A = this chain, B = another copy of it.
């Protein structure tokens, strides 16, 4: 049976472990075998210790054997981006500036995964400081291409079947873009839904944490485990979060109306990509209406995100990068230098504008259930970059929940994500719409391992 174990979704694996059909150790061993088989090529992990993973799995099995009630992820291995603190594995933020850094405590999201019973399998590769300089990871669909960034290893590890689930972060396009390139599900929940405590911080306004998986159910399973209030993260909300898995079990009360949104940067879409998306939109018929987000209103959003991100990164990382000599990349140094030149009034204006974009889009959702748009400008490019985040920026800046669904194929049959964006705080409803869309397109199945 262990030949097929790596193909299980997290939901399936958790069910089988809970029912005693497999042990966590058995499942973890199967994933380790998959790592042994292909990690040399994919290089998704920065830190991985098979013995440590197995120890956790055995402890989970023993806990179950004592008849204890189990968490929703009991015994399921999860990959954690290496800019998210773990008390067992090192956390090096993709840079020698943080070599051998060993946090004293788990990030809130890791602590919540452990509470749910997860096995912290290993730390996945992040680009340098979760910025643009590529790490070593390759795209499992084509080893000469990038998996995308900055959550490179988290996306690739899930696509390659080394873990069913992983956690990444997004400050611009670092979850949605690699999910699109690697052909997996990836979700950036509403800003403030998942705590950032213990996560490398770029910008309080822009930083998000979210899961990668090979099924929509697994995205909901992961969010149910990690979402919620954290007094240490001032943007989390102190009210109850809905059950995301319940959201998936519901049907929309009526056929959702989707807005096919072309943002002012739509011309960045590659030809084949734009055509594939156009075809999908056509196939949906009246469900989809075309909407332009007008340049005069939204045209400056990309500059606004850049102003906020350069300033916040210069503020948080300027000193350590400045002391780093030749270690930091030139791209990172340039970005920080740019941030140092931004006047404070420009920064505050960009933050005000971000709120304004959010408000005007929120009116929009009175009429449309969700925005249907591209997750990336094209398929994964070569290894020299991690691709263009332009199709994610507006949704990150406004903090809206966004999910990439592996629905399209672009050039050379490479995967390409369709992005659904919903109103702020309506993440469970967005998942329900995503489920509806998958069913409607008869695509409601797990993604196969690359």
Spell out A's residues near B (CB within 8 Å): 238, 307, 311-312, 314-315, 318, 339-349, 352
Contact = CB atoms under 8 A, between A and B. Distances in A.
Contact of A312 (B318, B339, B340, B348): B348
Among A346, A347, A349, max chain B CB count under 10 A is at A347
Contacts of A315: 344-345, 348-349, 352
Nearest to A316: B348
Contacts of A312: 348
Contacts of A311: 344-345, 348
Is the contact region of chain A dominated by helix, strand, or loop, or is it mixed? helix
Contact of A314 (B339, B341, B345, B352): B345
A81 to B, nearest CB: 25
B344 A346 contact: yes
Contacts of A238: 238
Contacts of A307: 344
Contacts of A345: 311, 314-315, 318, 339-340, 342
Contacts of A349: 315
Given A311-B345, A315-B345, 5 more contacts: A315-B344, A315-B348, A344-B346, A344-B347, A347-B347
A314 B318 CA distance: 25
Nearest to A308: B344
28 contacts: A238-B238, A307-B344, A311-B344, A311-B345, A311-B348, A312-B348, A314-B344, A314-B345, A315-B344, A315-B345, A315-B348, A315-B349, A315-B352, A318-B345, A339-B344, A339-B345, A340-B343, A340-B345, A341-B343, A342-B343, A342-B344, A342-B345, A343-B343, A343-B344, A344-B344, A344-B346, A344-B347, A347-B347
Q: What are the 10 closest A-B residue pairs judged by CB atoms, nearest first?
A: A344-B347, A311-B344, A315-B348, A344-B344, A342-B344, A314-B345, A315-B345, A340-B345, A343-B343, A311-B345
Nearest to A339: B345
